[in-house]
Chain A
Amino acid sequence: MKVKVIVGAIVVVIGVVLGAMNFMESNVEYANFSAAERSQKKVQVKGEWVKEQPTAFDVQNVKFSFFMKDDASRVAKVVLDGAKPNNFELATSVVAKGKFVNGEFHASEVLTKCPSKYEGSSETIKKTL
């Protein structure tokens, strides 16, 4: 009986430790561009799309690029592996996940944060009157 409990406990502990390590690893940390450039790790950067600078879509390689200003007001070019995200024009802020390579931020994913549903409702409701 004792042995059974000990073996069971060891299995559970190993499982929990592995799970916790995995959890920490797969949680991508937040950083700004400068920190991302220094660490060279995969991070997420929150910022704003700089609308004055051009956006481009490379049809052959399917890469969408735009300029983004991070919280520390540094502007960098973000190259997304994919097409322009849904609701990009509407977004109040964007979060790019990826790595900083050669002065550009190579993003595997760009999440757009849209204004909350109720913020725009004043205008929406007028349209439906």
Chain B
Amino acid sequence: MRHRIILADDHEIILDGLRRILEPEFDIVGTCADGRALLTALESLKPEVAVVDISMPLLNGMDAFRSAKSTHPRTRFIFLTGSPDASLATQAFRLGAAGYVVKQSAAEELVAAIHEVLAGRVYIAPRIANEVLQNLMSQPADSSKDGSGLTSREREVLQLLAEGKIVKEISAILHVSPRTVEFHKNNIVAKTGLHTTAELARYAVRNGLVSN
């Protein structure tokens, strides 16, 4: 049995080209020109793979995927884009996309990508794979952050501030320049939304940084 594919792109010529690439191997059950039509088509056609352009009228591909994710969890999404943007690709994979292919190399890559995705794996266009992986990996890098987003260094500074130390003293204790302490302090204010020393002290106590 041939696998069921749906295509979504608002450019007729692209749809045409894609059809010629895919038809020898897959069953193209439908094509649509915008995100809304795609959502309707998913409902009635229940394809295994959707090959979707990101920029489309009415509802863009990314947003269509956002709403289709929960209603059609079995349809896997491969994004197809004319401009290979690693940031966008990263965003797509964070959302749970199965593949990301650049249009220009669709003739060479798309068939392979669909096979990979059907096999339950993920396909990233080689041209941007490196950057996407780096983006994805760098996300949880700062594992020292607590719930508020404070880094461990900022928590140290917060504790000293809560203990009533002034910037000069803190810079001496931590062996960093006053400027750096001010930087941490500004970050603490921004991240916690607290301004006064009293508020910071209360926050520090509540978070177990200082014992009253």
Do the two chains belong together in a single complex? Answer: no
Interface residues of B (CB under 8 A from A): none
